[in-house]
């Protein structure tokens, strides 16, 4: 598959009478956005707010972050099986409003949603403080349960990302990047002397609002399978989960997975990037065994010499991570795991809930339990009423002046396990 990504750089976002891009500025019509969102009878109201880099604004509780994109050529549309038909994506050209994002927020589920500060020390921990954000604060209809609310907010974010992305369809990109993965035998023969490397992409699927969707299917219902990397870059995987904010993979993360992008950068130079194995993170032991067995079998089937394995979430999924690592290593395939740590505020506790001697090559996104002080902001987009309750918060986290003391666990993307952050740690 060959996918061209045409990036149109966005340096600012403003309200306007029509939704368009002019001079690298994205203009959005708030009333048109409201009208689209309010088509869903589950939603009572929505407020549209803008948040730009270095503004004194705090967005919370954050549900998802989505990059506006549009298919220009090739099969399907962005977010297949959800917004568009279930066509196989990953080919042709896709235009991207690079530097812009849709952020969904509001009451949501509350206890595992996060914070995005657009300035101050908190902004350094989240990549989304660098984006020009169109924020939607969504209020549900009275009596709507949290599952219905999450589904409504998820769909609203995807619909608006698709709506805004359409303005890029006929534009000339500022840059065009080309990514290609060939059918298996061709890929094997292209660089026969380079090590064959694959990527095991673990998706959060523990249920109870910890969900991820593949071509519109809840990934709890899949067995591990192989995807072209370009399918993922083209919207085949979307977030629907409420795992702790620091290490959840938002839809933006899936679209811009840095592991995939860096493997492509190395492809043909010192590795032969063979493709992606997606697998789920399960609750029950039998399901964990089944999925890790399939994952190891597929890695062997592809003839891989090495794999990178990334996790999403922590605690229970640590077992899936170690199972995948151990079984792949036992096939004679080298592995590197990418995770983060919950080592206590002093950093002295056990970092992962599971371990094995074969998991001896580890990249970490940092310790999520470290404390941070966030000064007050001039504007709250959403509500700070849940600060004391969200994962990483505690009684007394929110101070009367609007400042906050929390674990970095509460900051969206702070310890992301794709490496989409600035933190790491090392053994002493």
Active site positions, annotated: 242
Return d(Cα 327, Cα 200) in angstroms, integer: 12
Tell me whether strands 306-310 and 334-341 are parallel, antiparallel or unpaired: parallel
Residue with tokens 């992962």, as numbered in its chain: 352
Residue 115 tokens read as 């914070």
Residue 269 tokens read as 């130079």
Contacts of 345 (CB under 8 A, 6+ apart): 369, 370, 371, 407
In 3D space, the residue among 268, 270, 263, 287 whose CA is nearest the CA of residue 200 turns out to be: 263
C-alpha torsion sign, points 79, 81, 82, 85: positive
Return d(Cα 349, Cα 292) in angstroms, integer: 27
Please answer whether residues 224 and 279 qualify as being in contact, where contact means their C-beta atoms are separated by less than 8 angstroms. yes
Cα–Cα distances in angstroms (integers) from residue 244 to residues 60, 231, 349, in the given order: 13, 26, 19
Return d(Cα 34, Cα 246) in angstroms, integer: 29
3-class SS of residue 12: strand
Which DSSP state fits 37? H
């Amino acid at each position: 598959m060959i996918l061209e990504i045409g990036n149109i750089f966005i340096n600012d976002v403003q309200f306007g009478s029509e939704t368009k891009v002019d001079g690298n500025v994205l203009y959005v019509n708030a009333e048109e956005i409201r009208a689209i969102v309010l088509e869903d009878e589950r939603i009572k109201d929505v407020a549209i707010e803008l948040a730009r880099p270095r503004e004194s604004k705090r967005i919370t509780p954050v549900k998802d972050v989505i990059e506006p994109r549009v298919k220009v050529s090739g099969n399907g549309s962005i977010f297949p099986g959800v917004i568009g038909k279930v066509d196989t994506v990953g080919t042709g050209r896709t235009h991207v409003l690079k530097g812009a994002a849709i952020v969904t927020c509001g009451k949501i589920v509350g206890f595992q949603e996060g914070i995005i500060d657009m300035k101050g020390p908190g902004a350094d921990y989240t990549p989304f403080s660098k984006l020009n954000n169109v924020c939607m604060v969504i209020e549900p209809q009275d009596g709507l349960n949290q599952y219905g609310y999450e589904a409504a907010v998820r769909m609203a974010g995807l619909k608006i990302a698709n709506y805004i992305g359409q303005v890029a369809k006929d534009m000339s990109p500022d840059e065009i990047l080309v990514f290609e993965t060939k059918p298996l035998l061709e890929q094997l023969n292209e660089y026969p002397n380079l090590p064959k490397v694959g990527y095991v992409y673990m998706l959060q699927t523990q249920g109870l609002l910890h969900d991820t969707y593949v071509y519109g299917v809840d990934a709890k219902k899949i067995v591990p399978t192989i995807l072209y990397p370009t399918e993922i870059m083209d919207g085949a995987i979307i977030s629907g989960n409420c795992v702790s904010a620091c290490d959840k993979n938002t839809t933006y993360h899936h679209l811009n997975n840095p592991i995939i992008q860096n493997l492509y950068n190395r492809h043909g130079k010192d590795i032969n990037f063979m493709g992606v194995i997606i697998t789920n993170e399960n609750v029950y032991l039998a399901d964990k065994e089944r999925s890790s067995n399939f994952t190891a079998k597929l890695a062997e089937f592809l003839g891989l010499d090495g794999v990178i394995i990334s996790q999403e979430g922590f605690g229970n999924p640590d077992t899936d991570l170690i199972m995948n690592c151990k079984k792949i290593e036992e096939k004679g395939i080298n592995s590197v795991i990418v995770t983060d740590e919950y080592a206590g505020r002093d950093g002295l506790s056990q970092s992962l809930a599971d371990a094995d001697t074969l998991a001896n090559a580890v990249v970490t996104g940092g310790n999520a339990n470290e404390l941070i002080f966030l000064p007050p902001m001039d504007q709250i987009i959403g509500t700070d009423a849940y600060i004391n309750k969200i994962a990483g918060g505690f009684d007394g986290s929110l101070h009367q002046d609007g400042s906050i003391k929390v674990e970095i666990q509460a900051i969206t993307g702070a310890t992301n396990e794709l490496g989409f952050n600035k933190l790491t740690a090392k053994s002493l």
